Amino acid sequence: MDSILVWFRRDLRDHDHAALCEALRRARRVHCAFVFDCEILDPLRHTPDRRVEFIRESLLELDHALRAQGGALVVRHGWARAEIPLLARELAVTAVFANRDYEPQARQRDAAVAMALRAQGIGFELFKDQALFDGEEVLTQAGRPHTVFTPYRNAWLKRLSQDDWQPHRGKGGRLVASPLALGVPSLVELGFGEAGLRALGIAPGMSGGRERLQDFAGRLHLYRQQRDFPAVKGVSYLSVHLRFGTVSVRQLVALAVTAGALRPGAEGAATWLSELVWRDFYFMILDRFPHVVERSFRPEYDAITWEQGAVAEQAFADWCAGRTGYPLVDAGMRQINRTGYMHNRLRMLVASFLTKDLGIDWRRGEAYFARQLNDFDLAANNGGWQWAASTGCDAQPYFRIFNPVTQSERFDPGGRFIRRYLPELASVPDRFIHAPWRMSAAAQAACGIHVGLQTPAPIVDHDEARRRTLQRYGVVKRGGVPRRDR
């Protein structure tokens, strides 16, 4: 081809980029573009948004990297459905290349763009990039999509070969700098304010991704032991970089495999690789079963009646604000509100608390996370919430109900994480930090608190809530014997 336009979306890097490398292989000249899509941004406008700031900062770095190679990034602000066909015509390209997106809204957008380009005689091709395997690459023996994780993981690992995690490399064509590449608009021009990424310790862009990856590589061997403890630096903190593609999934799989994930004994690397397989699994579920965006994966769970009314609304508001009276639940919610990040163990705990202690529809919690999370990804967010609510594929049984006190004692035993986000409990002894209401009035006074004043009393009794949850989920008519709280 004479010239191709590469449309960057959630893949903000200049290396190991499927669409970019394929364009360089097949065309003499390659243009690059990104669209701040009003379809996505308009509902968020006029408020600081860490994700928009992350994208903008990452684009500045990407544009600089492309210019160093003779190219440049054309950045538009408008409706991508219109801007990409318009830009393709202005640049007189033969085709537009982009990497595949599995979200229903994105697929509708891409279909509209393809139709508009076709009317102009311009091609449109999509490539696999954000998942290691997609489409029909991992199926059951009957040729159907997997709906249970463990068989999917086994099939995924069986299919995995060295070629799958090799980086994409483009040769042949050259990047070109169009006069239309006028730089990256400011946050103000986009209708947003500063969100304080740097103050939160979030380094955007490819350089930020490299820093996180290098830091995690030295801790990978401890991943399985430490990943469940929010007060410990045990996880990768790469999720926002994976979300916006400032690192590639092939880099991460290569790290795990090099560290021995496919050999016995390397538990940290093997557990990390399994988490990457979960990511592919949820992409596949969203791609093949798009009804999960609005409904339960398992239709019978749509018969559940969730709590509504004034009491439920107040409970939801308390959950959002971190005022439930259960310290680890509240610490997790304050973390997400303050930083846009929440540790994965706490994501499971607060989701279980909302759906099974408060009886509130999982979709409300999912939507709240979608607004708050820096690393919000529809596939993973939906999958995680449906797992916690027992409505999803391969979800925890409905009678598995996390006890917020037991979880706190197990995963924040010294209360370090609780004290970080609930400083009002700083003087509470370790043995009461997980349930301050169990202290006597005198002991509370000695710690400078009064449960119900300086710190909220529990808004629900867990044992009573558990009983109501078993009744609520009884409509599903699932078999099994209720287990003890975990």
Spot the catalytic one: 125, 275, 307, 409: 275
472 contacts: CB under 8 Å, gap ≥ 6: 304, 305, 306, 359
DSSP code for 396: P
* Residue-level pLDDT at 379: 97
Cα–Cα dist 293/100, whole Å: 18
Q: Which 3 state secondary structure label does DSSP give 339?
A: helix
Q: How confident is the model at residue 413 (pLDDT cuts 50, 70, 90)?
A: very high
CA proximity to 284, closest of 148, 386, 387, 157: 148
Please, what is the end-to-end C-alpha distance for the chain in angstroms?
59
Whether the CB-CB separation of 336 and 373 falls below 8 Å is answered with: yes
Dump pLDDT digits (tens) for 284-337. Answer: 999 999 999 999 999 999 999 999 999 999 999 999 999 999 999 999 999 999
The residues near 299 (Cβ < 8 Å, ≥ 6 apart) are: none
Query: What pLDDT does 399 receive?
Result: 87
* pLDDT of 371 over the 70 cut: yes
The conformation of residue 17, written as its DSSP 8-state character, comes to -
pTM above 0.85, yes or no: yes
> Exposed/middle/buried for 13, CB within 10 Å: 0-12, 13-18, 19+?
buried
Is pLDDT of 485 > 70? no
Q: What is the mean pLDDT of the chain?
A: 94
Residue of 125, 137, 267, 278 marked catalytic = 278
Task: Read off φ and ψ for residue 358, nearest 5 degrees.
Answer: -100, -15
Q: How confident is the model at residue 478 (pLDDT cuts 50, 70, 90)?
A: low
Is 344 tagged catalytic? yes
Nearest in space to 38 (alpha carbons), one of 87, 10, 80, 84: 80
Distance CA 43, CA 48 (A): 12
Catalytic residue among 165, 272, 319, 362: 362
Query: Using alpha carbons only, what angle is made at residue 352 by residues 373 and 295, rounded to the nearest 5 degrees?
Result: 75
Cα separation, 165 vs 153, whole angstroms:
16
Q: For residue 156, indicate whether it is catalytic.
A: no
Picking from 342, 416, 412, 418, the residue whose alpha carbon sits closest to that of residue 384 is 342
Residue with tokens 């909220």: 456
Q: Is residue 272 among the annotated active site residues?
A: no
| Known catalytic membership, residue 275 | yes
Using one digit for the tens of pLDDT, what is the confidence trace for 78-117? 999 999 999 999 999 999 999 999 999 999 999 999 999 9
481: confidence class by pLDDT, cuts 50, 70, 90: very low
Share of the chain above pLDDT 70, in %: 98
Banded pLDDT at 480 (limits 50, 70, 90)? very low
